[in-house]
Amino acid sequence: MRHPREVLLDAQAAAGVLPVCDHYSGVEVRMRKSLQLQAQLTQEFGACVFDVTLDCEDGAPVGGEAAHAALVVELALGAADGARVAVRVHPVDHPSFADDLRVIAGQAADSQG
């Protein structure tokens, strides 16, 4: 088994500054609150102290998966500078998996120009 710093891009440069906590959040109010708290603490400490993972798998209401994926993109792209935001999509065998990727990766890529 290899340590993550051996395989992750730029992991050597990031050693010692990676947050030790990853907060999963899938409900809109909690996603917004998590990102707000992350931004406040980043400003206070001068570095991101915890990651936020916006959760499609446990957060999306049945039948509302596409709207939830769009919300996740909006929140991730609107996160503060220096934010560390990830997205958890539905499992590969779930009917919404491909749509999650299309919406989230597609819109995120489009925003990069």
Which amino acid does the sequence have at 33?
Answer: K
pLDDT at 38: 93
How do residues 15-61 score in pLDDT, each as one tens digit?
555 666 777 889 999 999 999 999 999 999 888 888 999 999 988 99
pLDDT at 11: 52
Query: Is the overall model pTM greater than 0.85, yes or no?
Result: no
* CA distance linking residue 45 with residue 92, whole number of Å: 37
Between 10 and 58, the more confident residue is: 58
pLDDT at 24: 85
Six-digit token string for 14? 């990031």
Q: At what angle are helices 28-45 and 65-77 packed, to 10 degrees?
A: 10
Widest CA span of the chain, in angstroms? 42
pLDDT at 79: 92
